[in-house]
Structure 1
Amino acid sequence: MYAIVEIAGQQFKVEKDQQLFVHRLEGKEGAKVSFDNVLLIDNAGKVNVGAPAVAGASVSAKILEHLKGDKVTIFKKKRRKGYKVKNGHRQAFTKIQIEGISEKGAAKKAEPKAEVKDAPKAEAAEKKAPAKKPAAKKAAPKKETKKED
Structure 2
Amino acid sequence: MDYAIVKTGGKQYRVSPGDVVDVELLSAEEGSTTEINDVLAVSRDGEVEFGKPFVDGARVVAQVQTHYKDRKIIVFKYKAKTRYRRKRGHRQNYTRILIQDIEIGGQA
Letter in 1 for 2:75: I
- Is 2:65 aligned against 1:61? no
Cα deviations by residue, 1:107-147 (Å, 9 ceiling, x for unpaired): xxxxxxxxxxxxxxxxxxxxxxxxxxxxxxxxxxxxxxxxx
Task: Show the 5 A alignment for 1:118-129.
Answer: none
Point out the structure with the larger strand share.
2
Greater relative contact order: 1 or 2 (C-alpha under 8 angstroms, separation 6 or more)?
2
- Is 2:73 aligned against 1:75? no
Task: Provide the rounded CA distance (Å) in 2 between the counterparts of 1:28 and 1:74.
Answer: 31
SS of the residue 1:102 aligns to = strand
The aligned residue for residue 33 of structure 1 is: 34
Task: Provide the rounded CA distance (Å) in 1 between the counterparts of 2:82 and 2:54.
Answer: 52
The aligned residue for residue 47 of structure 2 is: 46
Task: Provide the rounded CA distance (Å) in 2 between the counterparts of 1:8 and 1:25.
Answer: 8
Task: Provide the rounded CA distance (Å) in 2 between the counterparts of 1:61 and 1:15.
Answer: 11
- Is 2:99 aligned against 1:98? yes
Task: Provide the rounded CA distance (Å) in 1 between the counterparts of 2:75 and 2:48.
Answer: 43
Count matched residues: 106
SS of the residue 1:21 aligns to = strand
Percent identity reads 37
Task: Provide the rounded CA distance (Å) in 1 between the counterparts of 2:7 and 2:88.
Answer: 31
Task: Provide the rounded CA distance (Å) in 1 between the counterparts of 2:49 and 2:79.
Answer: 53
Question: What's the TM-score once normalised by structure 2's chain length?
Answer: 0.92
Cα deviations by residue, 1:28-81 (Å, 9 ceiling, x for unpaired): 101110011111110120111111111111100011000011211011122222
The CA deviation at 1:85 is 1.3
- Which of the two has higher C-alpha Rg? 1
Structure 2 stretches lacking a partner, 5+ long: none
Question: What's the TM-score once normalised by structure 1's chain length?
Answer: 0.68
